[in-house]
Copies of this chain bind each other. A is one copy, B any other.
């Protein structure tokens, strides 16, 4: 019997296990895949590992930053020097330097600034840990972000930009998500600008060794406690322990922490019902839709042309790109994203067609050199059976105000981790934070039960 069984060896699960082990508790981590890292994945491109999963650390993201330091990993700034590109139809606009925003009409600019101020004012009124308990929560959760834009945005330019912000940061469409959810997302990011920004923003820093190294280092310290290729099928709660059933065996522990996305957690069978709120919550948390491309080139030719590698496009397969070159420059690369309904559409096309279309779009943006990559890697997260999408769950209207409290509420001896349960940034940082929280909860209950047992013995 272990003190705790952890389901999922992504960042949140491994942090849970690491924190408990540090306090002298015994743990087993059960991972369905044959690798650790969950939504982080860093294949090797010869000289360097580049991220086709979670990638960035922002200045507010102290949990992951601290962990990276503790694990002895190195960081480096996301490249952003140079001009950015904005492609709409056949027009491609180059901007940057003194222009913080792409060239837009003065009306669109004013519209955007007003919208930004309105968002800032609203997000300041959110209750940090339970946004669904905020004063205006019911009204905000009864709006999609699309509906909010319909009421608050007057120009096509501002709408185009904000819609792409939504797609870029939550990988869903403005009409799919609750305004309350998105507002709280911006609150966690600090502001609209910090959420989308590179320097001073959520895309500020990368990890030299690749983000998956975070999980790998934790897993290697945990050693044989981490079991790969062992998907959890059922969790049965007994009076004083839990049984966690995999294809291979039945693990018993005093507690269990489930640290997989809610829609995946719904696929586990629970011997004791989790209750209405948790069950209905899990019905209502589909994942965002992401395909991430990392395309390696001989040289970072865009830098030579004065471009930063950042681009936004409404032309088809790629919504945004960034420079993905390795820290030491040994591997030159661009990263590109297909997001939201675009991501769902392209997930269904044959890989060759996807590659052809992605390279055509990169060529449209960055010129003919982009047509000839050294290597083309893609990760279709929508197809991944153990996350069901990326980056994280995207609640539609009504979900958080009806069932938000079930996100972190333990169900008997089952506790929940994963970036969906984070109090702060709902990405890798939130995964770390949630793992610490879940470990704290379990540690607290273990302490109580141990002291009770000692009392009984005395």
- CB neighbours (8 Å) of A398 from chain B are 173, 175-176, 340-341, 344
CA distance A449 to B234 in the complex (A): 35
For the complex, give the distance between the alpha carbons of A403 and B343 in Å: 13
User: Is the Cβ of B142 less than 8 Å from the Cβ of A144?
Assistant: no
**Cross-chain contact B276 with A347 (CB below 8 angstroms):** yes
Counting from the closest, the 3 A-B pairs by CB-CB distance are A344-B402, A283-B286, A175-B397
User: A372-403 interface mask toward B, CB cutoff 8 Å, 1 = contact, 0 = none?
Assistant: 00000000001101001100000011100111
Contacting A144 at CB < 8 Å: which of B146, B287, B383? B146
Counting CB contacts under 8 A, is A19 at the interface? no
Q: What is the chain B residue whose CB lies nearest that of A405?
A: B348
A48 within 8 Å of B (CB atoms): no
A389 to B398, CA, bound (A): 15
The answer to whether A453 has its CB under 8 Å from any CB of chain B is: no
Q: A276-B348, A280-B344 are known; give 17 further A-B pairs, CB within 8 A.
A: A142-B173, A142-B175, A143-B146, A144-B144, A144-B147, A146-B147, A150-B150, A173-B398, A175-B398, A233-B234, A233-B269, A269-B269, A279-B388, A280-B388, A283-B388, A289-B402, A344-B403
CB-CB nearest in chain B for A142:
B175
The complex places the Cα of A388 from the Cα of B277 at a distance, in Å, of: 10
A60 to B146 Cα, complex, angstroms: 36
Of B147, B234, B279, B348, which is within 8 A of A175 by CB? B147
A residues at B contact (CB < 8 Å): 142-144, 146-147, 150, 173, 175-176, 233-234, 263, 266-267, 269, 273, 276-277, 279-280, 283-287, 289, 340-341, 344-345, 347-348, 382-383, 385, 388-389, 396-398, 401-403
Residues of B within 8 A of A402 (CB): 289, 341, 344-345
Q: How far is the CB of A237 from chain B (nearest CB, A)?
A: 16
Give the chain B neighbours of A383 by CB distance below 8 A: 276
CA distance A279 to B344 in the complex (A): 13
Interface centre among A284, A347, A401, A403 (most CB of B within 10 A): A284
Q: How far is the CA of A348 from the CA of B277 in the complex (A)?
A: 9
Contacts of A340 in B (CB 8 A): 398
**Number of copies of chain A assembled together:** 2
Can you show 7 pairs from A to B with CB atoms below 8 A apart? A142-B173, A143-B146, A150-B150, A173-B397, A233-B269, A273-B385, A341-B398
Measured CB to CB, the nearest residue on chain B to A383 is B276
Q: How distant is the Cα of A147 from the Cα of B179 in the complex, in angstroms?
A: 13
Interface centre among A175, A234, A402 (most CB of B within 10 A): A175
A150 to B175, CA, bound (A): 13
Whose C-beta in chain B lies nearest to the C-beta of A285?
B283
Contacts of A142 in B (CB 8 A): 173, 175, 341
- Taking a contact as CB atoms under 8 Å apart, the answer to whether B280 and A286 are in contact is yes
Contact A401 B341 (CB under 8 A): yes
Partner of A389, one of B150, B280, B388, B396: B280
Q: How far is the CA of A27 from the CA of B389 in the complex (A)?
A: 37
| Bound CA–CA A322/B109 (angstroms) | 53
A271 to chain B, nearest CB (A): 10
Kindly list chain B residues whose C-beta atoms are within 8 Å of the C-beta of A233: 234, 269
| In-complex Cβ contact of A385 among B234, B266, B279, B403 (8 A) | B279
| Complex-state Cα separation, A276 to B378, whole angstroms | 17
Q: Which chain B residue has the least Cβ–Cβ distance from A261?
A: B283
What separation, in Å, do the CA atoms of A243 and B233 have in the docked complex?
17
Are B267 and A266 in contact, with the CB atoms below 8 A?
A: yes
Q: How far is the CA of A267 from the CA of B340 in the complex (A)?
A: 25
CA distance A392 to B450 in the complex (A): 47
A269 to B280, alpha carbons, bound, how many Å?
Answer: 19
Cα distance, A398 to B348, chains bound together (Å): 15
With A and B bound together, what is the CA distance between A344 and B398 in angstroms? 9
- With A146-B144, A344-B402, A397-B173: A263-B276 Cβ-Cβ less than 8 Å: no
A383 to chain B, nearest CB (A): 5
Whether B280 and A382, one on each chain, are in contact in the complex, defined by CB atoms closer than 8 angstroms, is yes
Contacts of A341 in B (CB 8 A): 142, 398, 401-402
